[in-house]
Amino acid sequence: MLAYHDQKGGFACCVIVEFKRAKLMQDARLSGVTVKDIARALASMIGVKAVSEFDAGITASYLRRAEELLELAIEFAQERRGDNS
C-alpha cells in the first residue's frame, strides 16, 4: 500500500495491485506453467479428492476448464490490445 499526503493535507492511500499482477504473470512464465498445471490447480481448489482423481486420470474436466479459461483470457487480451490475430 502506498500512502501520501493529498492536496488538502490529509492522507490518501493507493493499493498497488498492478505490480503484484505483473509479478504473478512473470513468475508464471519463468516457472513454465502448463495447461496441465492450471488444470491441477483448479482441481486443488475443489479439494484433495478432486486432485487425486485428476492425478489418476479419472477426470479430464479440469483440463477442459483450464483450456477454456486460457482461450478466454487470450481473447480478452487481444480485445484489450485491439488486435484479432
Distance of CA 52 to the CA centre of its chain: 22
What is residue 17's predicted lDDT score, i.e. its pLDDT? 65
- Portion of the chain with pLDDT greater than 70, in percent: 78
What is residue 20's predicted lDDT score, i.e. its pLDDT? 80
* pTM score over 0.75: no
**Contacts with 79 (C-beta within 8 Å, 6 or more apart), sequence order:** none
Q: Which parts of the chain register pLDDT below 70?
A: 1-17, 84-85
Domain count, the chain: 1
Instruction: Please report how many Cα atoms fall inside a 13 Å half-sphere around the Cα of residue 22, on the Cβ side.
Output: 4
Domain that holds residue 57: 2-81
Cell of 68: 477454456
What is residue 19's predicted lDDT score, i.e. its pLDDT? 76
